[in-house]
């Protein structure tokens, strides 16, 4: 199934634009899990979060750094997590890869063939040739960093380049490259005005991954209004820490579900009112 069709289907069936970031920072995991499972606590933690929230989300987004930091054992936990996610839900590898074509080809093979993720985040700074290996997977999708949620995004992404900010040039290029409808953009909820400009630039069809909600205090209401595309969807609103670390005690599963319900309800309220 093509990425867009799968995304639209799960957004409709779960009535959700919520994406949960599976970023199981080892030091923050519930101590009783670590004591019982050791490094394998990453998968056990993710498994219980997925079981508690799978009916509330459109996607899960593991950030590879939290697995790679633990070496081979951590990568095994990533693989088990990927395989456990229900097949109807979007899987998104937050990898932010970006390198020469021959290296990009190997990154793409790892993410899309070995781990079998539906999508991945990619850094477009090196230009089209560094993206081409990913785009050959026409049933997958890459989210290109465009206007990110961190404070330092302004250092380069808002630089005036020939009368427009760099992020707008990136959005225009992504629109031109999107021949197979397998490109999306990463735009932070901490920049809702810029998000509106980017959505107008790319049109209604291209998906946008929206980080910056929760711990980064992005503007959810304005971001939903400015970022939605076709069918009041095509927007993946990512929340990580506020959901998965809602509690570090034995009630962490119930706490995570309550926070996921909270965010889905708020997002849907703003969808409805837009």
Q: What is the pLDDT of residue 227?
A: 96
What are the distances in angstroms from CA 148 to CA 28, 60, 119, 219?
25, 19, 18, 14
Tens digits of residue pLDDT in 82-111: 999 999 999 999 999 999 999 999 999 999
pLDDT of the residue at 155? 85
Could you tell me where the DSSP H helices lie in the chain? 3-13, 31-37, 41-53, 65-68, 71-84, 101-108, 132-135, 153-157, 166-177, 192-202, 220-227, 241-244, 252-272
What is the pTM (predicted TM-score) of this model? 0.97
pLDDT confidence of residue 169: 95
Least confident piece of the model among 6-20, 209-223, 246-260:
209-223
Instruction: Determine the Cα–Cα distance for residues 19 and 237; give it in Å rounded to an integer.
Output: 5
Rounded CA-CA distance 43/60 in Å is 14
> Domain range spanning residue 173?
3-272
Query: Does residue 76 carry a pLDDT above 90?
Result: yes
Distance in angstroms (rounded) separating the CA atoms of residues 70 and 190: 30
pLDDT digits (tens, 9 = 90+) for 176-231: 999 999 999 999 999 999 999 999 999 999 999 999 987 777 899 999 999 999 88
Is 96 tagged catalytic?
yes
The pLDDT tens digits for 157-178 are 888 888 899 999 999 999 999 9
pLDDT in tens, 106-136: 999 999 999 999 999 999 999 999 999 999 9
For the chain, what is the mean pLDDT?
Answer: 96
CATH number at residue 214: 3.20.20.70
| Counted domains in the chain | 1
Q: Distance between CA atoms of 107 and 167, rounded to whole angstroms?
A: 24
Residue 242 has pLDDT above 90, yes or no: yes
Which listed residue (47, 80, 96, 225) is catalytic? Answer: 96
């Amino acid at each position: 199934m093509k990425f867009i069709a799968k995304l639209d289907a799960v957004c409709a069936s779960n009535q959700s634009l919520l994406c949960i970031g599976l970023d199981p920072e080892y030091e923050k995991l519930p101590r009783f899990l670590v004591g019982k499972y050791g490094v394998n606590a990453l998968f056990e933690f993710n498994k219980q979060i997925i079981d508690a929230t799978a009916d509330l989300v459109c996607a899960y987004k593991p950030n590879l750094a939290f697995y790679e930091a633990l070496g081979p054992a951590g990568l095994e936990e990533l693989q088990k997590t990927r395989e456990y996610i229900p097949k109807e839900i979007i899987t998104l590898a937050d990898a932010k890869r970006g390198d020469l074509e021959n290296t990009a080809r190997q990154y793409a093979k790892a993410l899309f063939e070995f781990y079998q993720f539906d999508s991945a985040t990619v850094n477009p700074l090196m230009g089209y040739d560094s993206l081409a290996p990913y785009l050959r997977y026409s049933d997958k999708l890459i989210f290109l960093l465009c206007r990110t949620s961190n404070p330092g995004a302004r250092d380069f992404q808002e630089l005036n380049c020939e009368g427009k900010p760099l992020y707008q040039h990136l959005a225009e290029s992504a629109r031109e490259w999107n021949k197979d409808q397998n490109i999306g953009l990463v735009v932070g909820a901490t920049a809702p005005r810029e998000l509106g400009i980017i959505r107008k630039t790319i049109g209604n069809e291209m998906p946008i991954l929206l980080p910056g909600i929760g711990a980064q205090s992005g503007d959810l209401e304005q971001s939903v209004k400015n970022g939605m595309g076709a069918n009041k969807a095509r927007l993946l609103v990512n929340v990580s820490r506020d959901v998965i670390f809602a509690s570090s005690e034995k009630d962490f599963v119930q706490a995570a579900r309550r926070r996921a319900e909270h965010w889905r309800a708020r997002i849907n309220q703003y969808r409805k009112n837009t």
